[in-house]
Structure 1
Amino acid sequence: MIRNISISTFVNIIFALAFVSIFLTFAIFIRYDKERYDLSLQNRYELIAENFLILFQDHPNAQRLNELYKKFNVKPIEDRDRKLEIINNAQELKITQNYLGTYRVYRFDDIYYIYVQRYGYNIILRDTKQHNYNVAFIIAGFVLSLIVFIFLYEILNRKLRPLRLLNKQIIEFSNGNRDIKLEYKSHDEVGTIAKNFNEAINIINNQSKSKDLFMRNMMHELKTPITKAMFIAETLDDDKTRENLQRAFRRMDDIIKELATVEKLTSQNTMIYKEKINFLAIFQKTMELMLINSENIEQKIEDFWFEVDIYMMSIALKNLLDNAIKFSTNKKAIIEANKNIIKVISYGEPLKNELSFYTDAFYQEDKRSSGFGLGLYIVKTIVNLHKFKLEYEHIDGKNCFIIKLLNYN
């Protein structure tokens, strides 16, 4: 799962976890520091109470009591009503009894009091030393850590920003924008990648232009001699020879048309012009392109309306029907169509390879010799441009090529 998330998301997750860790660390530190503080106060008041209880054993005079008051920064409460108010209303924090006597620790109006009792003595001491727990330094440390944390996060985001822009431009390039030029100012790894990608774009554009120029020149140069050769073949007296030559020249002409279609489909400016049209009109256009007797095609069509590029969809159906008739055992094909699917069916042996083997433009001799050539590649490309889906299945001795008309984004 981690491998599927973007770098930016991963960095955000890491920093979010780091922020939570910092927050929890300071929260735990404050808690334990407060406990340490309370324990230190407890030890202080225990020490004060024991010193006074020990002194009470010797029946001290006022001078000795004053010495202890100064030593521990405490002051006795003389007013009886104030004593009662503290005892009745203060928060009792601790009570301890031992062989020396009893003492209690109170907190009232954020001031600590120690109530020491021993037979013959009863005194309430006010702690004059300031003991307010101050978290200002801890909060200051947390704020400072947070500022450093945000500063580092912003620095990392600035370093990643060119990478996000680079990714966006690469996606734009992959979607067909060949004129894009990546901007880079830094000399780090991102800048190096952008520079190399610009060079790669230039190479690809130059190769694409060379390929387009070669294809157009080649098709133009081949078209003229093939046309002349077909006229010359018409003059031959031998019917069989004339028919064989004409079939060969027609095949060459079909190959040129296929190459022209491939060149158009693979062009950087490939666009489809969708129009709302009923399927029977597309089928009629397909039959005009095939120039065959419609009796060879059994029709099971439920007419419907859809939005397609009329010319391209007719080419796709033509190639499917051509292949169906060419490779069928009875030289016939069946076409079924409704608003969900278009299916071209013919009797014959199943394909020896997966459909993807035949929907790539052939580069290998075994693909060329199989007879499928560029036909299925053109079909697949047109189907993809319309965001339809091409599938194949072999059922009951029949090959079925299916165009699913639902959108597959």
Structure 2
Amino acid sequence: MKNISITAFINTIFVLALAAITTTFLFFVKLDKEKSNQERQQRYSIIANSVLNSFELQPKEDQLRKLYSQFEVNPIDDRIKKLDIINHAKELMFQESSIGRVRIYEYYNKYYIYVQKMSYNVLLLDLKSKPYNRSIALVIYIFAVAIFLSLYFAIRKKFIPLRTLDKQIQKFSSGDKNIKLDFQNNDEIGKIAKSFNDAIRNINNLTDSKNLFMRNMMHELKTPITKAMFIVESLDDNKNKEVLGRAFERMNNIIKELATVEKLSSNMSVIYKENTTFFCIYKKAMNILLIDASTISTKMSNFDLKVDIALFSIIIKNLIDNAIKFSPNHHATLIATQKRIEVISNGEKLKYDLNYYTEPFSQEEKRKDGFGLGLYIVKTTIELHDFKFKYAYENGRNHFIIDMSK
């Protein structure tokens, strides 16, 4: 029941309720019919006993007529008609006693009482009782079902805006931030839609402010860094030139990482997949890293894959960079196959769960180098490619894994 939708739940409830109403209606119709038959039989027994008792007194014709009138019955005098009814009617009851015999017949939706005693032989038509009529009960049932279905469709109509709201929320979660809900109702759903509109507006304002801040900050930082790198190239002191060059290159890479974070967080659904090879990705990642090739061992095949080349190169670069940076021997191993890419390094097991390190600006206390954006970019980009990011610790070595198997 936890995972059933509200619409399906309402449909189920109404189907069960309709089934319960129908079952109850049929049950009461059956009871009512049985009660009606019992009352009719009791009445006929009284009429028959009264007529049989009167026969013992040898009543006159006018006395019998008066008795028949009292019980609202009428004798059938036509002998042919009488025989036709006795021979062809459905016998409902037969009763025999010391005072005579009584039979109850039903013929063409009319009821007859056949009384026999010695020389008396009379067939009485019941003028009062009518056959059980289900039409009234059926009309009441149809009326009740009509009201019930009207309530059902009224409730379903009330939930139409909720389905619209759900679709709009799904579009918003998929990256469409320009949606607007226009509900005129002042009920709970209308209030939720209004609150959602307010939330979208606030989120868009915050996102726009954040994007503007990030772009201005990166622009303001990139310009002096670029100028500084040109100045460094003109220095004669090679030692200072190399130190400053690496420092400014590191600052430039940090700005690039911030730009990647801004891109991922502002429009996470947009990536540009291209057909490429893993060697191409690896070469681009190594060009970004600017490290000594001896610090990494590789065991890989040149398989084809379809990914966002720029973002996937950053993934490999960040994993290798982290492995070398935080390994005691500053060495990493890369193993790559069609279904799995692993970056392995010596070191202590992660103190926290992997999710802790994939949050932006998340670091352990001893890790002060960088802003803690590397694994956030890695996980976010991997998930955008519909791959899985995993971690394992075996034999004193950390394994960061990109699982590309379907």
Greater displacement, 380-389 / 261-270:
261-270
Q: Please report how far the alpha carbon of residue 71 of structure 1 lies from its aligned counterpart in structure 2 after TM superposition.
A: 2.5
Q: How many residue pairs are counted as aligned between the two chains?
A: 406
Q: Please report how far the alpha carbon of residue 113 of structure 1 lies from its aligned counterpart in structure 2 after TM superposition.
A: 2.3
Q: Please report how far the alpha carbon of residue 80 of structure 1 lies from its aligned counterpart in structure 2 after TM superposition.
A: 5.7
Aligned partner of residue 266 in structure 1, secondary structure: helix
1:323–1:372: 8 Å Cα contact kept in structure 2? no
Q: Please report how far the alpha carbon of residue 251 of structure 1 lies from its aligned counterpart in structure 2 after TM superposition.
A: 2.2
Aligned partner of residue 194 in structure 1, secondary structure: helix
Summarize deviations over 1:116-159 as a string: whole Å, max 9, x none: 23344333333344512222222222222222222222322332
Q: Please report how far the alpha carbon of residue 364 of structure 1 lies from its aligned counterpart in structure 2 after TM superposition.
A: 7.2
Fraction of identical pairs, as percent:
50
Q: Please report how far the alpha carbon of residue 293 of structure 1 lies from its aligned counterpart in structure 2 after TM superposition.
A: 4.2
Equivalence for 1:192: 191
Equivalence for 1:308: 307
Equivalence for 1:273: 272
Task: Call closer, same or farther: CA 1:273–1:96 in 2, change over 3 Å.
Answer: same
Q: Equivalents in 2 of 1:128, 1:311: separation in Å?
A: 98
Task: Call closer, same or farther: CA 1:160–1:274 in 2, change over 3 Å.
Answer: same
Q: Equivalents in 2 of 1:335, 1:372: separation in Å?
A: 24
Task: Call closer, same or farther: CA 1:273–1:292 in 2, change over 3 Å.
Answer: same
1:111–1:127: 8 Å Cα contact kept in structure 2? yes
Task: Call closer, same or farther: CA 1:399–1:368 in 2, change over 3 Å.
Answer: closer
Task: Call closer, same or farther: CA 1:283–1:242 in 2, change over 3 Å.
Answer: closer
Task: Call closer, same or farther: CA 1:262–1:169 in 2, change over 3 Å.
Answer: same
Task: Call closer, same or farther: CA 1:289–1:248 in 2, change over 3 Å.
Answer: closer
Q: Please report how far the alpha carbon of residue 357 of structure 1 lies from its aligned counterpart in structure 2 after TM superposition.
A: 0.4
Q: Please report how far the alpha carbon of residue 78 of structure 1 lies from its aligned counterpart in structure 2 after TM superposition.
A: 4.7
Q: TM-score with structure 1 length normalisation?
A: 0.89
Greater displacement, 185-194 / 36-45:
185-194
Q: Equivalents in 1 of 2:183, 2:389: separation in Å?
A: 41
Equivalence for 1:318: 317
Equivalence for 1:66: 65
Task: Call closer, same or farther: CA 1:353–1:80 in 2, change over 3 Å.
Answer: same
Summarize deviations over 1:217-248 as a string: whole Å, max 9, x none: 11111112223334444566666554443333
Task: Call closer, same or farther: CA 1:368–1:397 in 2, change over 3 Å.
Answer: closer
Q: Please report how far the alpha carbon of residue 266 of structure 1 lies from its aligned counterpart in structure 2 after TM superposition.
A: 1.4
| CA-atom RMSD in angstroms | 2.7
Summarize deviations over 1:180-237 as a string: whole Å, max 9, x none: 1111212333333322322222222122111111111111111122233344445666
Task: Answer yes or no: is 1:95 the counterpart of 2:94.
Answer: yes
Q: Please report how far the alpha carbon of residue 367 of structure 1 lies from its aligned counterpart in structure 2 after TM superposition.
A: 8.8
1:367–1:373: 8 Å Cα contact kept in structure 2? no
Q: Please report how far the alpha carbon of residue 258 of structure 1 lies from its aligned counterpart in structure 2 after TM superposition.
A: 0.5
- Gaps in structure 1 of 5+ consecutive residues: none
Summarize deviations over 1:313-350 as a string: whole Å, max 9, x none: 11111111211222223333222233322222222211
Aligned partner of residue 343 in structure 1, secondary structure: strand
2:268–2:384: 8 Å Cα contact kept in structure 1? no
Q: TM-score with structure 2 length normalisation?
A: 0.90
Q: 1:345-360 residue pairs with structure 2 within 5 A? A: 345-360=344-359
2:111–2:129: 8 Å Cα contact kept in structure 1? no
Q: Please report how far the alpha carbon of residue 381 of structure 1 lies from its aligned counterpart in structure 2 after TM superposition.
A: 0.8
Equivalence for 2:30: 31
Q: Equivalents in 2 of 1:303, 1:102: separation in Å?
A: 107
Task: Call closer, same or farther: CA 1:207–1:154 in 2, change over 3 Å.
Answer: same
Summarize deviations over 1:80-109 as a string: whole Å, max 9, x none: 665555445433222223343332222233
Task: Call closer, same or farther: CA 1:198–1:215 in 2, change over 3 Å.
Answer: same
Equivalence for 1:124: 123
Q: Equivalents in 2 of 1:199, 1:378: separation in Å?
A: 30
Task: Answer yes or no: is 1:342 the counterpart of 2:341.
Answer: yes
Equivalence for 1:172: 171
Aligned partner of residue 271 in structure 2, secondary structure: coil
Task: Answer yes or no: is 1:13 the counterpart of 2:5.
Answer: no
Summarize deviations over 1:264-305 as a string: whole Å, max 9, x none: 111237511122333333233323333334443333324433
Q: Equivalents in 1 of 2:348, 2:172: separation in Å?
A: 42
Q: Equivalents in 2 of 1:341, 1:303: separation in Å?
A: 13
Greater displacement, 250-259 / 95-104:
95-104
Q: Equivalents in 2 of 1:326, 1:268: separation in Å?
A: 30
Q: Please report how far the alpha carbon of residue 46 of structure 1 lies from its aligned counterpart in structure 2 after TM superposition.
A: 1.0
